[in-house]
């Protein structure tokens, strides 16, 4: 198969199978990126949130320290927080430490706003701690009760006024004895963290900032300037991952897995659907619509690699073009649909007649392609005959005919006689050869088998060469007129001649008419050739007439192809008149096959030619089909007895009787006779005795060039 076809098929197959996978990968990559991004945002928010809690706690401790630094139980109070901390002076000397100090450096100063969160009994406290540029710590808080209501807002240390919540519908006052200081701060409620110290100094810190059961604690250290910047209060804090966090994380991971899983599932399903569709499409690509079996494309796509395989190299194969003869007729008489039903039956029957390692496909119309394994040609021939025989009864009401063109793919061997792979095999080419072989049976409507041979290719090449060159050859005068004289067998005198064409050129040398006339007859160029010959003969005759030579009529062959032209007689007359040759020196030969055409038109043309003064002869009388019937109606001047009468078996006694009768018949129809192809003296004598008027044969002379013919004329 041509490479471009293979590429196309591969492309179709590839397109179908990979689009889904590629889309799947793209979607999956996008989903992955989104998942990772979401996880990243979620985790960083989570960690930050956790760390913020730590900041608040540490800052709170620092606040407690600062506000109670002058109290003797300050360290005792701070130690209760159960947090490692260290207070250092500027030189790094430890003033007090508690717990295991693992901080490597002195810690970062934190001056940002920090959110602190904690629970106090049943209420939760949400506060904001900030430090301004002067080191003053501003605090704000609000308290939320179990019902989620704001039950207290922060107090101003300088004011005793009541505060209103943002919603305005409730007023709360922080009522603890030492906490009458309420203020609004920067639009947000704030509270002096000291209040916590005073109120809950007797309580453990973890009751103020309850640490829920943490599963993982990641320690980090935060330092704050205390004592007016003279000392540094460094507190250990933790990012605590608690059980509830794990639950959230698990839920989040679960959600992500669920979404990714859904995506994955969708993509897997779509890929499967795609793959199934792809299979269907590829299947469709290789399915014949009429027989539902495999099609030509499949035959070509699979056949060539099959024949090229090492495992098949030792077997002989036959590529067959099997044709249902007169399928069109059958469709016309019945219906196309009915015809296709028969084709399907033929296909199904063939499927049963070939084995698994062989192939059978419906190509198109009435054509099937088969790949059969065989051992020897006789066995193959018998098998094909039996297949054809079997198929003929595929429909009980009819008997069908089948023709098979066969191309044999034998075993390839190298110089050492070893079997080699058929590397250059192309089943399309082999099938084409099989078709070519089948065309040789085209003339017949009967079943038959024809085998391809190299000569068919050579013939076709020759036809192409001839067709290609014909135009140039005629304009370049490559066609030469040869003259074959006709003699009176009694007196041995020249009575006429036939003009016979020869094609002579430098490349091809001398080409006899049998090699190109049938091609011209098929391709229509014969009409130009015959007119060309007529003109040349008329010119020669005129030249010889002017030279005072002893002229005799010269016959020119006119092929049957001309008789479609109703004015053929006029064309002949006009071209002869243009040259000025008297009509009596030109004779027109019509081949017997011409008589099968439109009889009326033929009679009319012959009659007019004779009226114009041209003699008309029937060429090759007795060859092929009987033309006795034609003789009855045709007003002819000359009957040319075919050379076959004088060859081989025909030349016996029975042959002589037929020839003698034919001559008699011609005479009684007032026709002269010419015997063609006479080569021996006995035949000449016999013909003379029968009263044959002229003999054209090798006995007297072969067709000759113009100059030699001039010599023959002069010899008279």
Footprint of ligand C2E on this chain (CB under 6 A)? 484, 500-501, 512-514, 517, 526, 529-530, 533, 557, 559, 619-620, 643, 676-679, 696-698, 703
Comparison of 514 and 648: residue with beta carbon closer to ligand C2E: 514
CB of 683 to ligand C2E, least distance (A): 9
Residue 507 Cβ, how far from ligand C2E at the closest point, in Å? Answer: 20
Least distance (Å) between residue 697 CB and Ca ion: 11
- Dump the DSSP string for 19-55: HHHHHHHHHHHHHHHHHHHHHHHHHHHHHHHHHHHHH
β-pair type (214-226, 509-511): unpaired
Q: Least distance from C-beta 9 to ligand C2E, angstroms?
A: 49
Residue 183, interface with Ca ion (CB under 5 A)? no
The interface region with Ca ion, picked from 146-154, 483-491, 528-536, 550-558 by CB under 5 A, is: 550-558
Closest among 384, 363, 382 to 427, alpha carbons compared: 363
What does the buried/exposed string (b/e) look like for 11-40 if buried means 16 or more CB atoms within 10 Å of the residue's CB?
eeeeebbeebeeebeeeeeebeeebeeeee
Q: Whose Cβ is closer to ligand C2E: residue 278's or residue 683's?
A: 683
Query: Residue 512 binds what, of Ca ion, ligand C2E, none (CB under 5 to 8 Å, by partner type)?
Result: ligand C2E
Q: Which does 303 bind (CB under 5 to 8 A by kind): Ca ion, ligand C2E, none?
A: none
- The single residue listed with the structure tokens 């098998």 is 383
Q: Which does 517 bind (CB under 5 to 8 A by kind): ligand C2E, Ca ion, none?
A: ligand C2E
In the complex, least distance from residue 617 CB atom to ligand C2E, rounded to whole angstroms: 10
Token pair in block for residue 491: 């007196």
Nearer to ligand C2E, 228 or 514 (CB): 514
154 binds Ca ion (CB under 5 A): no
**Of Ca ion, ligand C2E, none, which one does residue 501 interact with (CB within 5 to 8 Å by kind)?**
ligand C2E
Name the residue with tokens 């243009």.
Answer: 578
DSSP string, 225-283: EEGGGTEEEEEEEEEEEEHHHHHHHHHHHHHHHHHHHHHHHHHHHHHHHHHHHHHHHHH
- In the bound state with ligand C2E, the residue whose beta carbon lies nearer, of 7 and 647, is 647
Look at residue 697 and give the partner it binds from ligand C2E, Ca ion, none, a contact being a CB closer than 5 to 8 Å depending on partner kind: ligand C2E
Nearer Cβ to ligand C2E, position 509 or 548?
509
Nearest distance from C-beta of residue 573 to ligand C2E, angstroms: 19
In the complex, the smallest distance separating the C-beta of residue 462 from ligand C2E, rounded to whole angstroms, is 16
CB count in 10 Å sphere of residue 177: 7
619 binds Ca ion (CB under 5 A): yes
Interacting positions 677-716 with Ca ion (CB under 5 A): none
Binding flag, residue 190, Ca ion (CB under 5 A): no
How many residues of this chain bind Ca ion (CB under 5 A)?
A: 5
Strands (E), 375-493: 402-409, 412-413, 419-420, 448-451, 479-487
d(CA 76, CA 157): 27
Q: Which is nearer to ligand C2E, 409 or 537 (CB)?
A: 537
**Looking at beta carbons only, is 587 or 619 nearer to Ca ion?**
619
Q: Please state the closest distance from residue 446 (CB atom) to Ca ion, in A.
A: 30
Closest distance to Ca ion from the beta carbon of 592 (Å): 9
DSSP notation for 46-114: HHHHHHHHHHHHHHHHHHHHHHHTTSTTHHHHHHTT---EEEEETT--EEEEES----SS---B--S-E
Per the document, the length of the chain is 716
Is 406 or 501 the residue whose CB approaches ligand C2E more closely?
501
Span interacting with Ca ion, options 128-136, 575-583, 616-624, 654-662, rule CB under 5 A: 616-624
Among 236, 403, 447, 557, binds Ca ion (CB under 5 A): 557
State residue 197 phi and psi, 5-degree precision. Answer: -60, -50
**DSSP code per residue over 514-552:** GGTHHHHHHHSTHHHHHHHHHHHHHHHHHHHHHTT----
Report the distance separating Cα 219 and Cα 100, nearest Å. Answer: 12
Q: Which stretch binds Ca ion (CB under 5 A): 138-146, 165-173, 199-207, 614-622?
A: 614-622
Place of tokens 């199978």: 17
Q: Which listed option, ligand C2E, Ca ion, none, makes contact with residue 513 (CB within 5 to 8 Å by class)?
A: ligand C2E
**DSSP 3-state of 416:** coil
Residue with tokens 């007359």: 573
Mask of contacts with Ca ion, 570-609, x by CB under 5 A?
-------------------x--------------------
Q: Is the dihedral of CA 201, 202, 204, 207 positive or negative?
A: negative
Q: Alpha-carbon distance 640 to 627, whole Å?
A: 12
Which residues lie near Ca ion (CB under 5 A)? Answer: 557, 589, 619-620, 676
């Amino acid at each position: 198969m041509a490479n471009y076809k293979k590429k196309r098929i591969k492309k179709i197959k590839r397109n179908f199978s990979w689009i889904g996978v590629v889309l799947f990968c793209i979607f999956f990559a996008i989903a992955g990126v989104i998942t990772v991004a979401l996880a990243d945002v979620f985790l960083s928010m989570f960690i930050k949130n956790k760390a913020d809690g730590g900041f608040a706690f540490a800052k709170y401790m620092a606040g407690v320290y600062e506000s109670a630094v002058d109290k003797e139980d300050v360290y005792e109070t701070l130690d209760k927080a159960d947090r490692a901390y260290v207070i250092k002076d500027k030189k790094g000397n430890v003033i007090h430490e508690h717990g295991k100090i693992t901080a490597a450096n002195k810690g970062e100063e934190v001056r940002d706003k920090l959110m602190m969160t904690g629970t106090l009994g049943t209420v939760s406290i949400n506060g904001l701690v900030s430090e301004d540029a002067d080191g003053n710590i501003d605090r704000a808080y609000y308290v939320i009760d179990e019902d989620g209501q704001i039950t207290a807002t922060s107090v101003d240390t300088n004011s005793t006024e009541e505060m209103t919540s943002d919603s305005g519908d409730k007023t709360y006052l922080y009522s603890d004895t030492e906490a009458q200081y309420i203020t609004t701060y920067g639009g947000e409620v704030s509270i002096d963290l000291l209040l916590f110290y005073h109120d809950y100094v007797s309580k453990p810190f973890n009751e103020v900032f309850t640490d829920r059961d943490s599963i993982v604690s990641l320690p980090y250290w935060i330092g704050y300037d205390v004592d007016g910047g003279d000392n540094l209060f460094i507190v250990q804090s933790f990012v605590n991952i608690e059980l509830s966090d794990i639950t959230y994380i698990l839920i989040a991971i679960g959600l992500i897995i669920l979404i990714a899983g859904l995506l994955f599932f969708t993509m897997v399903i779509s890929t499967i659907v795609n793959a199934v569709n792809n299979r269907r499409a590829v299947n469709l690509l290789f399915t014949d619509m009429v027989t539902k079996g495999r099609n030509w494309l499949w035959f070509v796509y699979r056949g060539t690699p099959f024949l090229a395989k090492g495992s098949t190299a030792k077997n002989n194969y036959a590529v067959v073009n099997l044709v249902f003869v007169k399928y069109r007729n059958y469709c016309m008489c019945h219906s196309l649909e009915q015809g296709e039903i028969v084709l399907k039956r033929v296909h199904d029957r063939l499927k049963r007649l070939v084995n698994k390692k062989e192939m059978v496909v419906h190509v198109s119309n009435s054509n099937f392609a088969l790949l059969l394994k065989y051992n020897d040609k006789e066995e193959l021939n018998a098998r094909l005959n039996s297949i054809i025989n079997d198929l003929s009864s595929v429909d009980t009401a009819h008997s069908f005919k089948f023709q098979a063109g066969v191309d044999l793919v034998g075993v390839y061997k190298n110089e050492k006689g070893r079997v080699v792979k058929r590397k250059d095999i192309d089943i399309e080419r082999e099938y084409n050869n099989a078709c070519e072989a089948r065309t040789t049976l085209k003339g017949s409507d009967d079943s038959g088998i024809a085998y391809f041979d190299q000569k068919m290719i050579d013939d076709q090449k020759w036809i192409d060469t001839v067709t290609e060159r014909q135009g140039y050859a005629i304009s370049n005068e490559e066609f030469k007129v040869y003259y074959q004289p006709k003699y009176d067998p009694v007196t041995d005198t020249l009575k006429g001649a036939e003009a016979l064409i020869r094609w002579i050129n430098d490349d091809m040398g001398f080409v006899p008419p049998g090699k190109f006339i049938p091609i011209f007859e098929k391709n229509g160029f014969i009409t130009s050739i015959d007119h060309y010959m007529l003109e040349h003969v008329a010119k020669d005759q005129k030249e010889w007439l002017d030279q005072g030579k002893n002229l005799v009529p010269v016959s020119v062959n006119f092929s049957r192809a001309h008789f479609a032209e109703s004015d053929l007689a006029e064309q002949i007359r006009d071209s002869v008149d243009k040259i000025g040759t008297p009509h009596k020196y030109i004779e027109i030969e019509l081949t017997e096959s011409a008589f099968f055409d439109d009889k009326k038109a033929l009679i009319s043309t012959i009659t007019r030619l004779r009226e114009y003064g041209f003699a008309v002869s029937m060429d090759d009388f007795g060859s092929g089909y009987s033309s006795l019937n034609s003789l009855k109606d045709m007003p002819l001047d000359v009957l040319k007895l075919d050379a076959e009468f004088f060859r081989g078996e025909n030349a016996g006694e029975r042959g002589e009787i037929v020839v003698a009768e034919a001559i008699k018949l011609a005479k009684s129809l007032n026709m002269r006779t010419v015997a063609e192809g006479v080569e021996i003296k006995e035949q000449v004598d016999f013909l003379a005795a029968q009263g044959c008027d002229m003999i054209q044969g090798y006995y007297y002379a072969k067709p000759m060039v113009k100059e030699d013919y001039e010599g023959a004329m002069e010899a008279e």
